[in-house]
C-alpha cells in the first residue's frame, strides 16, 4: 500500500477541499454534527482526511470530532482494551467507545460544507505527497505505522474482520504555531487547572486532541459500515 505524507498549508478554505484541519467540516448533508454523550454539547471539529486511490478505504473520508465543552479525567483518550497489542476487539466496542468523540466515516463524494457549523479550530489544508518510505514518521495515510512506544497493531474485530492501517496523525507545531490553533471567537477548551484543581476554560489558544498523543487509526474491512479503532501513544 502506498504511503502519503500529509503536508500542511495555511490557506483559505475552498468548498472542494477534502483533507484539512479545522475550518468548516465537509460531511454529508443529512448527518448531524456529533454531540457529546457526557454533556450534550456539540462536539468540535478537528480534522478530516479523504483516502486516495490505492488505499483500502479509497473514496472514503474520516472526519474527527471531539468535545471541548466538558472534562472527564477518565475519558481524555479513547478507551483502551485490557490487552492492546494484537488486540481482538470485541463486537460493538468501536461504537460504544465513542462517548465524547466521534469518527464520522462516509463516501467522500457525499461530503458538503456545513455552513451552519461555527468553526473553532483555524483552517489548514492537508496536501498528499508520496512518502519516500512506507514507515516515515509523519502525519500520513497508508504505508506502515511508525510506532513511538512499540507495535500495538490490532489483530481483528468481532472475531472475524481484519483491520487496515488508515493513517497516523502527529499533533506537531506548524511555523511555530499549534496544530489546532483557535479562531479568535472560539472558547477555550475545558481542562483541569493544576494549581487550583478546578475544571475551567483553558487560556491556551489551541485545542488538544486526546492530550496531544501520537494517533494511529485503523479501519475495519468487510463490515457493513466502516468502523475506526484509534490508538494513542505518548510522544
Residue 208: which residues within 8 A CB-CB, separation 6 or more? 171, 180, 189
DSSP track, 34-94: PB-TTT-PBPEEEEEEE--TTSTTTTEEEEEEE--S---GGGSS----SS-TT-EEPTTHH
163 in Cβ contact with 157 (< 8 Å) = yes
Q: How far apart are CA 31 and CA 37, in angstroms?
A: 17
Q: Tell which residue, 56, 73, 76, 75, has the closest CA to residue 1.
A: 56
Contact 163, 229 (CB under 8 A): yes
pLDDT of residue 174: 52
- Helix (H) / strand (E) element for 191: namely strand 190-192
- Are the beta carbons of 21 and 147 closer than 8 angstroms? no
Q: What is the largest CA-CA distance in the chain?
A: 51
- Considering only CA atoms, which of 32, 2, 28 is closest in space to residue 130? 2
Residue 177: what pLDDT?
A: 60
pTM flag (> 0.85): yes
What is d(CA 47, CA 64) in angstroms, rounded to the nearest whole number?
Answer: 5
Cell for 83? 490487552
The residues pairing with 129 across neighbouring beta strands, listed in sequence order, are 5
- Could you tell me the residue ranges of all domains in the chain? 8-127+175-211+218-228
Q: How many CB atoms within 10 Å of residue 107? A: 12
Beta carbons of 27 and 47 less than 8 angstroms apart? no
State the alpha helices, DSSP H only, in the chain.
Answer: 93-96
Q: pLDDT tens per residue, the chain (235 residues)?
A: 789 999 999 889 999 999 999 999 999 999 999 999 999 999 999 999 999 999 999 999 999 999 999 999 999 999 999 999 999 999 999 999 999 999 999 999 999 999 999 999 999 999 999 998 989 989 999 999 999 999 999 999 999 999 999 999 987 655 456 789 999 999 999 999 988 889 999 999 999 999 999 999 999 999 999 999 999 999 8
Cα separation values, 63 from 82, 143, 228, Å: 27, 20, 11
**pLDDT number for residue 225:** 95
**DSSP 8-state secondary structure symbol assigned to residue 137:** S
Amino acid at each position: 500500500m502506498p504511503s502519503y505524507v500529509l503536508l500542511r498549508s495555511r490557506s483559505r478554505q475552498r468548498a472542494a477541499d477534502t483533507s484539512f484541519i479545522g475550518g468548516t467540516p465537509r460531511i454529508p448533508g443529512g448527518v448531524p454534527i456529533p454531540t457529546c454523550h457526557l454533556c450534550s454539547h456539540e462536539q468540535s471539529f478537528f480534522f478530516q482526511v479523504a483516502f486516495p486511490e490505492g488505499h483500502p478505504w479509497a473514496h472514503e473520508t474520516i472526519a474527527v470530532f471531539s468535545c471541548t465543552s466538558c472534562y472527564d479525567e477518565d475519558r481524555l483518550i479513547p478507551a483502551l482494551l485490557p490487552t492492546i497489542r494484537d488486540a481482538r476487539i470485541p463486537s460493538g466496542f468501536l461504537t460504544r467507545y465513542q462517548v465524547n468523540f466521534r469518527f464520522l466515516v462516509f463516501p467522500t463524494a457525499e461530503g458538503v460544507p456545513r455552513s451552519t457549523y461555527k468553526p473553532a479550530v483555524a483552517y489548514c489544508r492537508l496536501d498528499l505527497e508520496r512518502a519516500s518510505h512506507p514507515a516515515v514518521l509523519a502525519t500520513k495515510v497508508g504505508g506502515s505505522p511508525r510506532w513511538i512506544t512499540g507495535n500495538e497493531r490490532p489483530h481483528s474485530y468481532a472475531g472475524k474482520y481484519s483491520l487496515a492501517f488508515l493513517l497516523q496523525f502527529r499533533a506537531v507545531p506548524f511555523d511555530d504555531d499549534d496544530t489546532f490553533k483557535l479562531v479568535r471567537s472560539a472558547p477555550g477548551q475545558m481542562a483541569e487547572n493544576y494549581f487550583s484543581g478546578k475544571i475551567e476554560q483553558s487560556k491556551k489558544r489551541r485545542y488538544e486532541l486526546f492530550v496531544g498523543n501520537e494517533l494511529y487509526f485503523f479501519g475495519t474491512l468487510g463490515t457493513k459500515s466502516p468502523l475506526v479503532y484509534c490508538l494513542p501513544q505518548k510522544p
